[in-house]
Amino acid sequence: MSKKLSDRLIERVPGLDGIAGALQKLWDPVVGESAPRPLKDALVGVWLGHPLHPAVVLLPIGFWTSSFVLDLANEEDAADLLLALGLASTAPALATGAAQWFDATNDDKPRRLGALHAAVNTAATGFYAGSLLARKNGNRGMGVALSTAGLALVNIGGWLGGDLAYDLGIGVDHSAFESPPTKWTAVLDETELDDGKPHRVEVDGAAVMLIKHDDGIHAIGAVCPHLGGPLDEGEIDGETVTCPWHGSVYRLTDGCLLHGPATAPVESYEVKTQKGRVSIRAATG
């Protein structure tokens, strides 16, 4: 089977690991493990319920595409204004992209592909900055040529970003295709549960984590939506569980997401015990 073009690129383009390392060092204070939790939560999109980056990148792409069309229509002032607005909107696009990519850098493909995606988009931004400078200095022909090259690079960067999302699953919900049982389903004997110790079961293809507390038995999805981490192997702290892979925090009582980098909650289950058998069903509320 022939490899995809993006796979061949990340194998052949030199220096991608070095670029990735530099980007990790640059962004670690903002989106790394030591970053302030509220800042990282805001950048990845916890408050939005899905990744923020795809929405934010529409700004520079939209401004620059519109600027290209206005150049064709000889609307020079409007084209220059939109080009400048595109440059102004690159900072949030970079920050949200870094937040979404940072926790996937342990694996070669997303690390290198993300580095290439960032390098291409940074080059595009450089072309646009050069274009604006040329326009301001009266060299409009050069300015239009540079911005046209920048738009071509933006489209290449978007294609690479599509591979990150749709081929490698960066930013998608890794529990989305599970089908939680809607009818009461017996899963284990109550004696199999130790106080405070997570227990994982598979129910019709859905992974469920059960845990016994003083206030009863709780059951939530066992797969972290971020990158599929096993929540049943995570740290339990009171009424919360922390994903062992990248630190997303969920509430045990209802699966609510408290901290990212995940942006979606996990499934919550109702629990009942009859004659020593524990049964669950997906919560209806």
Q: Number of C-alpha atoms within 13 angstroms, CB side, residue 132?
A: 17
Residue type at position 226: H
Please write the tens of the pLDDT for every residue from 187-233.
Answer: 999 999 988 899 999 998 899 999 998 889 999 999 999 999 999 99
pLDDT at position 205: 86
Give the type of residue at 190.
E
End-to-end CA distance of the chain: 47
In this structure, are residues 128 and 85 in contact, taking their beta carbons and an 8 Å threshold?
A: no
Question: What integer pLDDT is reported at residue 213 of this predicted model?
Answer: 85
In the three-class reduction of DSSP (H, G, I as helix; E, B as strand; rest coil), residue 35 is classed as: coil
The pLDDT assigned to 83 comes to 98
CA nearest neighbour of 158 among 184, 115, 121? 121
Per-residue confidence (pLDDT) for residue 1, from 0 to 100:
55
Can you count the helices (H) and strands (E) in the chain?
A: 9, 10
Domain ranges of the chain: 5-167, 185-282
Burial of residue 58 (number of CB atoms within 10 Å: 0-12, 13-18, 19+): exposed
- Residue carrying structure tokens 């939530």: 220
Sheet holding 277-282, edge to edge: 185-189, 277-282, 268-274, 216-221, 206-213, 199-203
Q: Are 50 and 170 in contact (CB under 8 A)?
A: no
> What percentage of the chain exceeds 90 in pLDDT?
87
CA–CA distance, 150 with 160 (Å, rounded to integer): 15
State the Cα–Cα distance between residues 121 and 103, nearest whole angstrom: 20
Half-sphere exposure in the Cβ direction for 171 (13 Å, CA) = 26
Strand locations in the chain, DSSP E?
A: 185-189, 199-203, 206-213, 216-221, 235-237, 240-242, 249-251, 257-259, 268-274, 277-282
Instruction: State how far the Cα of 51 lies from the Cα of 45, in Å rounded to an integer.
Output: 5
How would CATH label the architecture of 185-282? 3-layer Sandwich (2.102)
Alpha-carbon 177 to chain mean position: 17
pTM value surpassing 0.85: yes
CA angle 258, 226, 108 (to 5 degrees): 140
> Smallest Cα–Cα separation from 64: which of 115, 119, 121, 134?
121
Measured CA to CA, the distance from residue 186 to residue 271 in angstroms comes to: 10
Residues of the chain with pLDDT under 70: 1, 285
